[in-house]
Chains A and B, each alone.
Chain A
Amino acid sequence: MTMERRGFLVGVAAAMGGTVYSSGLGAMLADAANPAVPIPMIARGAWINQPVDVFTPEKRALVSAMSETLLPADDTPGAIDAAVPKFLELLYDQWMAEPERALFDAGVSDADKRAQTGHGATFANCDAGAQRAVLEAIEDEQGDHPWFAFGGQSAVDERVDIPFMALFKEIAVTGFFMSEVGAQQVLRYAPMAGVFDGDTSLSPDQSSWPATPFM
């Protein structure tokens, strides 16, 4: 980790054309070893690298299968490669309040029930076609909600009368593309540019950069 972080910082300095860095980053590196000072995020591991154990094995398999159905591996990694199921379990444990947990539980149970009724097996044990059909059916029923409008509202901000599929998509998609695998292997790894150029070319097969907050 340390090597990677140092490498990143060296890259930043190089990108800035050899400008001498102010003392702050040196201190930041030094402080990373001092438990009394909050560790800078850049010196931390991935947020998902922490233990969590709030799902039963069956629920874990169900959430895992649903995540992979939404965002499957193909020429690029999928939800399981990016640890989206674990991300969702961590959110369930640390981030959701009771209403969201209830919505999440009802949603995944509903998907499992539909798989058993319609396809004769638990969701996790259905084939990919059946899994996709189940999630598509749920989205069809819930898709009139304003969340599904162009640039729609945020399920996290609104949190009132949000259908399960809106919450599920919002948190799974966010966890996927913000992950290390999602940012580097599904999107394009974007080391700090050091310059701004608003007129570069984009070919049809090129992805977005990983998201940067607008501030």
Chain B
Amino acid sequence: MAEQENTPSTSRTYDAIVIGSGITGGMAAKELTENGMQVLMLERGTPLEHGAGYIGEHAQNWTVPFANLPNYQANEKDYATQSKNYAFDEATRQHFIKDSDEPYIQDGDTQFEWIRGARVGGRSLMWGRQVYRWAPRDFEANAIDGYGIDWPIRYDDLAPWYSHVEKFIGVTGKKEGLDYFPDGEFQKPMEMYALEKRIKGRLARHASDLTYTMGRAAVLTEQLGDRAPCHYCGPCPRGCSTGSYFSTQSSTLPAALKTGRLTLRTNSAVQKILHDPATGRATGVQIRDMKSGAQMTYKSRIIFLNASTIHSAQILLNSKSAAFPAGLANSSGVVGRYLMDHNEHGTNTGVFFDDIDRYFTGNRPNGTYIPRFRNIRGQDDDAEFIRSYGFQCNTVRLDHRFTMHQKGIGAGYKDMLRKPGPWVFAMVAFGEMLPNADNRVTLDPTTRDAFGMPIVHIAMRFGENEHKMRADMKRQADRILKAAGAAFIATASDKAEPISAIHEMGTVRMGKDPKTSALNGWNQSHDVPNLFVTDGAAMASSGHVNPSLTYMALTARAADYAAKLWKRGEL
């Protein structure tokens, strides 16, 4: 690999600065450098070397501190929110921020668990890896039912970029040929458990309105460049030195470095994007060096803001000037507003007595999926809600972690714990959340965090549609688990629990009208033409499938557009 050590320079003017090195920042850096641009990527977190940095990778259970029991004293002190994340354990702690360094304030009765990455690669290191295309209807829904503003693009605008991204990141999945659940560029699908094959057969007979398919994940099942197929060790978020799941480290960062045109500066907390009212353009960024504490300025012709939904809004709102008293690129007043996350409905569990004599080899880092089946083409007669949802399903053979609760002392108890318990099939619904101006991010007027930024207030509530949808999710989960043949069924409460799908989006939304949106159809600021925002902040609605693939496709498309303007000398 022709890696080049580029030293960051405050005197030169970069072709582009990319703020953030996560899923979209890495993609922006790759696309822009491959288009010939000299790029400075700024990451406020610490470096993390692919492979050598993954200190928890392949850890034997007995080497993990406290046998991986949650270290609650350390967690309560420094990781009160992060430690609630499914990917947080003693072997991944180093990938997460310390909540004590950068607290946030939940206004009203908000219960929003804001999960954040602390290293180069951001949350691409410990993401859930599920990747689904939006359907054509998702881009049309705002225009059809009037909730939210119309998207400035349609599925056909993004489809080639979905393909572009899928081929690069590597996606395993099974084609289903459904227009409301578009197929992508897939490597071969992963295998199902015996129980899943049985459930697929039962659903085909007893719930034939459903499709049940393998999960689509950014995990390789075939060689891709120098990235190896998955070796099924299991806990991806501990890091993967074979690059078998997509992360910045495994994929976009090496590609960008290979061009020789990327400069990566870590420990660099962007405070503000600087703006010249004479030209109407952004001129660069002001950062705080987290090691020395020094304030520095870097200049560029183009800026890609990829700090993640809430941080991107935070940076814009903090970039106030006489020209933009409410924050940069915020003449519309929408920046920070219309915060959405997915309407995640807890774990619906079915216990099965089938396939007790079937077992497994290897740990599959992917589940199964039931695509949308409600409001597919129009409004279902019996649906009291608009938009839709899908079920992510996980099959688990219970072990001592689940069976230790049974009564018993001595040899019988021990023998019971040694043996696998029944199979469990767990379904989690992810539904669309409608945009609402009152769900928003604002800045605290006085308090700053360890990165020198005003701390964030988050106000976030579900609305009536989300609650009605959750009631339907609960009913449908019960119907599906019955059709699947579960012996015991426990559905989750349909009461709204903390909004924590880690799919936050919408704070710098795209739209056709500069009065009601911050970005145009190219993720380009209406107000500041050399500023692009291509992370989740840009979303004008939430859809209901896992959003990272869409963010990446939007990023690649916007980078291509920006590079064309740059080549023509317009930016």
Interface set of A (CB-CB < 8 Å, partner B):
8, 12, 15-16, 19-25, 27-28, 30-31, 37-42, 44-48, 69-72, 74, 76, 78, 87, 91, 94-95, 97, 132, 135-136, 139, 143, 147-152, 156-157, 159, 169-171, 173-175, 177-180, 183, 186-187, 192-204, 206-215
Q: Which residue of B lies closest to A195 (CB)?
A: B362
Q: By the criterion CB–CB under 8 Å, are A211 and B242 in contact?
A: no
| B50: chain A residues within 8 A (beta carbon) | 22, 24
Q: By the criterion CB–CB under 8 Å, are B58 and A12 in contact?
A: yes
Q: By the criterion CB–CB under 8 Å, are B419 and A196 in contact?
A: no
Would you give 24 A-B contacts (Cβ < 8 Å), ordered by A?
A19-B223, A22-B243, A41-B60, A41-B63, A42-B60, A45-B63, A71-B413, A97-B73, A147-B405, A148-B407, A157-B70, A169-B405, A173-B400, A174-B400, A175-B67, A192-B231, A195-B361, A196-B230, A200-B358, A200-B360, A202-B420, A212-B235, A213-B234, A214-B86
Q: Which residue of B lies closest to A139 (CB)?
A: B407
Interface stretch (choices B4-12, B193-201, B378-386, B534-542): B193-201
Q: Which of B73, B227, B228, B361 has the most CB of A within 10 A?
A: B361
Interface stretch (choices B160-168, B391-399, B558-566): B391-399
| B210 within 8 A of partner (CB) | no
Q: A47-B65, A175-B67, A193-B361 are in contact. Are A28 and B60 (CB under 8 A)?
A: no
Q: Which of A91, A150, A152 has the most CB of B within 10 A?
A: A150
Q: Which residue of B lies closest to A150 (CB)?
A: B405
**Within residues 41 to 95 of chain B, which ones have a CB less than 8 A from any CB in chain A?**
49-52, 54-73, 86-87, 89, 91-92, 94
**7 further A-B pairs in the complex, CB-CB below 8 A; given A95-B73, A215-B92:** A69-B409, A87-B67, A197-B360, A198-B364, A203-B357, A215-B86, A215-B126
Interface set of B (CB-CB < 8 Å, partner A):
49-52, 54-73, 86-87, 89, 91-92, 94, 126, 190-194, 196-197, 223, 226-238, 241-243, 356-365, 394-402, 404-407, 409-411, 413-415, 417-420
Partner of B400, one of A37, A46, A177: A177
Partner of A156, one of B55, B69, B191, B394: B69
Bound complex: CA A31 to CA B49 (Å): 12
Q: By the criterion CB–CB under 8 Å, are B363 and A212 in contact?
A: yes
Q: By the criterion CB–CB under 8 Å, are A47 and B59 in contact?
A: no
Q: By the criterion CB–CB under 8 Å, are B358 and A40 in contact?
A: no
Bound complex: CA A177 to CA B413 (Å): 13
Partner of A41, one of B56, B70, B363: B56
Q: By the criterion CB–CB under 8 Å, are A132 and B410 in contact?
A: yes
Q: Which of B52, B238, B358, B413 has the most CB of A within 10 A?
A: B52
Q: Which residue of B lies closest to A16 (CB)?
A: B231
Q: By the criterion CB–CB under 8 Å, are B241 and A198 in contact?
A: no
Q: By the criterion CB–CB under 8 Å, are B197 and A199 in contact?
A: yes
Partner of B409, one of A31, A135, A214: A135
Q: By the criterion CB–CB under 8 Å, are B70 and A208 in contact?
A: no
Q: A187-B418, A215-B237 are in contact. Are A136 and B409 (CB under 8 A)?
A: yes
Q: Which of A24, A159, A200 has the most CB of B within 10 A?
A: A24
Q: A177-B417, A198-B193 are in contact. Are A47 and B231 (CB under 8 A)?
A: no
Total number of residue pairs linking A and B with CB closer than 8 Å:
259
Partner of A148, one of B91, B223, B399, B406: B406
Q: By the criterion CB–CB under 8 Å, are A215 and B58 in contact?
A: no
| A40: chain B residues within 8 A (beta carbon) | 54-57, 59
Q: By the criterion CB–CB under 8 Å, are A27 and B49 in contact?
A: yes
Q: By the criterion CB–CB under 8 Å, are B63 and A186 in contact?
A: no
Q: By the criterion CB–CB under 8 Å, are B233 and A192 in contact?
A: yes
State the Cβ distance, B195 to closest chain A Cβ, in Å.
Answer: 8
Bound complex: CA A15 to CA B363 (Å): 14
Q: A42-B60, A170-B404 are in contact. Are A193 and B232 (CB under 8 A)?
A: yes
| B411: chain A residues within 8 A (beta carbon) | 72, 74
Bound complex: CA A169 to CA B193 (Å): 31
Q: By the criterion CB–CB under 8 Å, are A151 and B402 in contact?
A: yes
Q: By the criterion CB–CB under 8 Å, are B359 and A202 in contact?
A: yes
Q: A193-B232, A215-B237 are in contact. Are A200 and B51 (CB under 8 A)?
A: no
State the Cβ distance, B527 to closest chain A Cβ, in Å.
Answer: 41
Q: By the criterion CB–CB under 8 Å, are A21 and B197 in contact?
A: no
Bound complex: CA A173 to CA B192 (Å): 30
State the Cβ distance, B463 to closest chain A Cβ, in Å.
Answer: 30
| B357: chain A residues within 8 A (beta carbon) | 201-204
State the Cβ distance, B275 to closest chain A Cβ, in Å.
Answer: 41
Bound complex: CA A161 to CA B218 (Å): 43
Bound complex: CA A12 to CA B57 (Å): 12
Q: Which residue of A lies closest to B74 (CB)?
A: A95
Q: By the criterion CB–CB under 8 Å, are A38 and B193 in contact?
A: no
Partner of A25, one of B62, B67, B241, B395: B241
Q: By the criterion CB–CB under 8 Å, are A196 and B191 in contact?
A: yes
Q: By the criterion CB–CB under 8 Å, are A19 and B399 in contact?
A: no
Q: By the criterion CB–CB under 8 Å, are B66 and A208 in contact?
A: no
State the Cβ distance, B191 to closest chain A Cβ, in Å.
Answer: 5
Q: Which residue of A lies closest to B85 (CB)?
A: A215
Bound complex: CA A34 to CA B405 (Å): 43
Q: By the criterion CB–CB under 8 Å, are B64 and A41 in contact?
A: yes
Bound complex: CA A12 to CA B234 (Å): 13
| A175: chain B residues within 8 A (beta carbon) | 67
| A179: chain B residues within 8 A (beta carbon) | 61-62, 67
Q: A72-B411, A208-B399 are in contact. Are A95 and B405 (CB under 8 A)?
A: no
| B190: chain A residues within 8 A (beta carbon) | 196
Q: A156-B72, A178-B68, A193-B361 are in contact. Are A70 and B232 (CB under 8 A)?
A: no
| B60: chain A residues within 8 A (beta carbon) | 41-42, 180, 183
Q: Which residue of B lies closest to A41 (CB)?
A: B59
| A46: chain B residues within 8 A (beta carbon) | 62-63
Q: By the criterion CB–CB under 8 Å, are A178 and B62 in contact?
A: yes
| A214: chain B residues within 8 A (beta carbon) | 86, 235, 394, 396
| A72: chain B residues within 8 A (beta carbon) | 410-411, 414
